[in-house]
Structure 1
Amino acid sequence: MPTADPASLFWFLFLFATFVWPAWERQRIHLRRLWKIHELQRRRGTRVITLIHRQEALSLLGIPLARYINIEDSEQVLRAVRLTPGDMPIDLVLHTPGGLVLAAEQIAAALRRHPARVTVFVPHYAMSGGTLLALAADEIVMDEHAVLGPVDPQLGQFPAASILRAVSRKPVAEVDDETLILADVAEKAVRQVQDFVRELVADKLPPDRAETIVRDLTEGQWTHDYPITFEKLRSYGLPVRAGLPREVYELMELFPQPAGRRPSVQYVPVHDVEPRRRRHP
């Protein structure tokens, strides 16, 4: 009876672990995501769209890859909105650090124009461009510890508002032409984002409150990664409430961080803990 060649067995196991198993695992998780989305759609009677950016690992090399809102995201979300009947509500599950302003504004405009009700679910955070998407919704539903963030435009590595502030503190004669041009672009960027935010909140807030949130979010009052809490958003008068559906948390579990690293947080879910037996005397 022929025996297996150790070298052939090694290469078979290597190829299986490198290509076959990861591909099968990705497909399995993909199908579980689709089922969970279908479950949430069926229970709420809506079209569920996910925009979830987690750090992922490139295949084979395992190099971490951070993801942001880009043109491809806007194309896919716009397609999903376009294929949704006008009388069907939309639920957007949103988890993102932000991204390209153009892409975020395109998605926000499409959500705002959808005839039926639009709800944005924020389980953890939706920063920068993600905040624009949340403001476009009829209702923002958040975990009570989730946050949004400022939408002040960034020019390269500097906030536009900080460029304007720095230029205003020096005589024009002491500022070089390149910086003045940069300040001109920064002024335009701030004004453009302000106009868009004002448009998003105009039908949700009285004019005075709308202007307050426009200034707070766009003029560099906070750093770009400042967490705007549920309580702060509610104080503005925005349509925000706490209490995410169970399926949203379960869906987020299906977007794991890269494998192969020791987890820094571990716990045993309460429902998995076996109840202690009472000791009888």
Structure 2
Amino acid sequence: MEIIGLLFWLFFLFSVLTPVVQRRFLEAQRLRMIHQIERKRGTRVITMIHRQESISFLGLPLARYIDIEDAEAVLRAIRLTPDDLPIDLILHTPGGLVLAAEQIAQALVRHKGKVTVFVPHYAMSGGTLIALAADEIVMDENAVLGPVDPQIGQFPAASLLRVVREKPIAEIDDQTLVFADIGEKALKQVRSTVIEVLSANGMGREQAEPLADALTCGQWTHDYPIAVEEAKALGLPVNTGIPEEVYQLMDLYPQTSQRRPSVQYIPLPYEPPQRDRGRGERRP
């Protein structure tokens, strides 16, 4: 019985300590890759990567969004950066709190050095608002941004206002009226913030106002993907060509492991298949 009890405690300690050691090792790898990017580009690298990660030895998923803690951390990193040192922000997020996103955007706009935002996959909602503060947005060819129209609870603010406009006031409940009032204020505030951020980055007001209207008016669903070409057509300073090191860094932020992966492939670059010119057959 003593041996069984000892084995149980050894297994328990192993189950507890293994995830801790793995996490520390993963964090060390991330820091090394961040240093490598900084040395190569001569910048301060800040990452805001929101993915579901497992916590504790139970493997519980933790969903991440832009929150006040993120804003505090980014603002602290910007304060520690010399005014003339460029900043590279690697952004991967579904969005989050408007307050936190606005704080980060305003801080990036005030930084005197060049600000580059890298979007390897997506930066939606509040992530797009932050990207608007960059001097240059570098996206993967398949990456997307999104609208920044505010959401009141689970409803788009623009849709709440449409209900109030099109439905008799006597048939609208008090809660919807309150939500619509909050939504109207939120739309004005977010639109004003977008114009302020774009104008501070040198965009003329005659261009900033239509762009702010397009992103905040609710003409799209909140998860509408704004791809590279559309972002350029809107007037955003978008380019492609993300450094390979950024993709390598993203690989160090794995999703929560599952029993059966839904996507599988051999993680090696493939050469295009060669064909025999005379017979049209593939060469081995």
- Contact 1:209/1:236 (CA < 8 Å) preserved in 2? no
Q: CA deviation at 1:209?
A: 3.2
Provide, for residues 148-197 of structure 1, a one-character-per-residue CA deviation record: whole Å limited to 9, x for no partner: 11111011111100000110002334334433232211110000000001
Query: Are residues 1:256 and 2:254 paired?
Result: yes
Work out whether 1:141 is the aligned partner of 2:138. yes
Structure 1 residue 234 corresponds to structure 2 residue 228: no
Q: Which residue of 2 aligns with 1:29?
A: 26
| Matched residue, 1:279 | none
Moved over 4 A (4+): none
Cα distance in 2 for partners of 1:171, 1:246 equals 56
Please state whether the residue corresponding to 1:30 is helix, strand or coil: helix
> What's the counterpart of residue 114 of structure 2?
117
AA in 1 matched with 2:84 = D
Matching of residue 9 in structure 1 with residue 36 in structure 2: no
Instruction: Say yes or no: does 1:39 pair with 2:36.
Output: yes
Q: Do the aligned residues in 2 keep the contact of 1:81 with 1:110 (CA within 8 Å)?
A: yes
CA distances 1:260-280 after superposition (whole Å, capped 9, x unpaired): 43222222233589x99xxxx
- Unmatched 5+ residue regions in structure 1? 277-281
Contact kept? 2:90, 2:118, Cα under 8 Å: yes
Give 1:179's aligned residue. 176
Deviations 1:73-132 (A, max 9, x none): 000100000010001000000000100110110000000100000000000000110001
**Structure 2 residue 196 is matched with structure 1 residue 199:** yes
Contact kept? 2:211, 2:235, Cα under 8 Å: no
Corresponding residue for 1:266? 264
- In 1: Cα distance, 2:16 partner to 2:258 partner: 15
Distance 1:250 1:31 in 2: 14
CA-atom RMSD, angstroms? 2.2
Q: Taking every aligned residue pair, what percent have the same amino acid on both sides?
A: 62
- The amino acid that maps onto 1:86 is D
Structure 1 counterpart of 2:187: 190
CA-CA distance at 1:13 after TM superposition: 2.9
- Tell me what 2:280 maps to: none
Q: Distance in 1 between matches of 2:268 and 2:171?
A: 64
Which residue type is aligned with residue 218 of structure 1? T
58, 75, 78: which one pairs with 1:78? 75
Aligned pair count? 273
CA contact (8 A) 1:124 1:147 kept: yes
1:160 aligns with 2:189: no
3-state SS of the aligned residue for 1:5? helix
Deviation at 1:145, TM superposition (A): 0.3
State the TM-score, normalized to the length of structure 1.
Answer: 0.91
Query: How far apart are the structure 1 equivalents of 2:234 and 2:215?
Result: 12
The 8 Å contact of residues 56 and 258 in structure 1, kept in 2 or not, is answered as yes
Deviation at 1:56, TM superposition (A): 1.5
- Aligned partners of 1:180, 1:265: CA distance in 2, in Å? 45
In structure 2, runs of 5+ residues without a counterpart are 275-284
* Aligned counterparts of 1:207 and 1:224: Cα–Cα separation in 2: 25
